[in-house]
C-alpha cells in the first residue's frame, strides 16, 4: 500500500524549483558581481589589512587546507544526522504520550534558552576529546529544534486524516509510516534548512576552542597571522558550503514535493 498522502502522479513530469530558473540565476549573478566590484573598488581606497583585493583573497583561497574543509563538513553532517535521529525519536514519543510531552517540553525550551557560548564552555570543562566536544555542542543546539519542528508538524496533521486511518486499525508503525511521516515531510525539510545554517555557524565557533583542524581552527590561525585575506577566504568557504547544502535540500524538497506546484 502506498503512502496515505501520496498524490496521484497522472504521468506528470517532476516540477523543479523555481530558484533554478534562468531569471533568478541572472539576478543572483548580477547581485554577486555588484558586490565583488564594490569590494574591489573599496580595496583601492582602504589599507590591505582592512579590505584586501580579490587578488590577495584568491591567493589565500589557493593556499587553504582543503582537508580542514572536509573535516568541518563531516562534523556538521554527522552531528546533524545524529541530532535528527534523536529529535525524530523524541518527537514521536512526545506525540504518542501527552504526559511525556508535558515533562520533556519545558526541558527542551530551557536547553534552547542557553547561549551557544555557554554550551561550548561546558563542553570544554566536561569532556576531554575535541570531536566529542564539537558533536555535543551541535547536537545540544540543533536537536531541540528538530524536536519542536517535527512535533509541531505532527500536531498539524488534520484530525479527519487521523480518524480515517485509525478506522483501518493500523499499528503504530503503520500509522506513522502511512500518514504522519509523509504529512510532516515539508516540516522536516524546513527544519533541515534552518539547522544547516545554524550548524555551520556553531561548528565554526566550537572549532575555535581546542580544535587543531577545521575551518574554525583555520580562522584562529589567520587571526594569529593578522591576515584579513585568509579570514575572508575561510568566510567565503563557509558561505559556499552553506549555499551548496541548502541547494541540495531545496532540490530534494522540490523533487519530493513537486505535487504542490500542480495542486
pLDDT in the model for residue 208: 82
Does some domain include residue 44? no
Return the axis-axis angle of helices 130-155 and 116-126, rounded to nearest 10°.
140
The residue range of the domain holding 249 is 53-262
Does some domain include residue 240? yes
pLDDT in the model for residue 86: 95
**Residue 8: pLDDT over 50:** no
Q: Is the pTM of this model over 0.85?
A: no
Outline where 97-178 has alpha helix (H).
Answer: 98-113, 116-126, 130-155, 159-166, 172-175
Angle at 135 between CA 67 and CA 216, to 5 degrees: 45
Count of domains forming the chain:
1
pLDDT in the model for residue 122: 92
| CATH code at position 251 | 1.10.3720.10
Does some domain include residue 85? yes
Distance CA 25, CA 99 (A): 49
Angle at 152 between CA 199 and CA 81, to 5 degrees: 30
Does some domain include residue 6? no
Which phi-psi region, left, alpha or beta, contains residue 16 (left: φ > 0; alpha: ψ -120 to 50)? beta
Does some domain include residue 7? no
Does some domain include residue 39? no
Does some domain include residue 5? no
How confident is the model over 12-47, as pLDDT tens digits?
434 444 444 433 467 777 888 898 899 889 888 888
Does some domain include residue 132? yes
Q: Tell the residue number behind the cell numbers 530551557, with chain if given.
A: 110
pLDDT in the model for residue 143: 93
How confident is the model over 61-104, as pLDDT tens digits?
888 888 999 999 999 999 999 999 999 999 999 988 889 989 99
Amino acid at each position: 500500500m502506498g503512502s496515505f498522502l501520496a498524490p496521484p502522479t497522472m504521468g506528470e513530469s517532476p516540477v523543479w524549483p523555481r530558484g533554478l530558473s534562468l531569471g533568478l540565476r541572472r539576478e543572483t549573478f548580477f547581485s554577486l558581481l555588484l558586490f565583488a566590484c564594490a569590494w574591489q573598488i573599496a580595496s583601492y581606497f582602504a589599507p590591505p589589512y582592512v579590505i584586501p583585493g580579490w587578488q590577495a583573497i584568491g591567493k589565500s583561497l589557493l593556499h587553504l587546507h582543503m582537508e580542514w574543509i572536509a573535516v568541518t563538513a563531516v562534523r556538521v553532517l554527522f552531528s546533524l544526522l545524529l541530532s535528527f535521529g534523536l529529535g525524530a525519536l523524541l518527537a514521536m514519543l512526545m506525540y504518542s504520550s501527552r504526559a511525556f510531552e508535558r515533562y520533556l517540553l519545558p526541558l527542551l525550551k530551557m536547553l534552547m534558552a542557553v547561549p551557544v557560548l555557554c554550551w561550548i564552555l561546558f563542553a570544554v570543562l566536561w569532556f576531554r576529546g575535541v570531536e566529542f566536544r564539537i558533536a555535543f555542542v551541535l547536537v545540544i543546539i540543533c536537536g531541540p529544534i528538530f524536536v519542536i519542528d517535527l512535533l509541531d508538524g505532527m500536531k498539524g496533521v488534520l484530525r479527519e486524516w487521523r480518524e480515517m486511518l485509525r478506522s483501518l486499525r493500523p499499528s503504530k508503525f503503520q500509522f506513522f509510516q502511512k500518514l504522519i511521516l509523509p504529512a510532516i515531510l515539508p516540516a522536516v525539510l524546513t527544519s533541515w534548512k534552518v539547522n544547516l545554517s545554524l550548524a555551520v555557524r556553531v561548528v565554526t565557533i566550537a572549532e575555535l576552542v581546542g580544535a587543531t583542524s577545521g575551518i574554525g581552527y583555520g580562522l584562529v590561525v589567520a587571526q594569529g597571522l593578522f591576515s584579513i585575506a585568509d579570514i575572508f577566504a575561510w568566510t567565503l568557504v563557509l558561505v559556499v558550503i552553506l549555499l551548496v547544502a541548502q541547494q541540495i535540500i531545496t532540490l530534494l524538497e522540490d523533487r519530493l514535493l513537486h505535487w504542490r506546484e500542480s495542486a
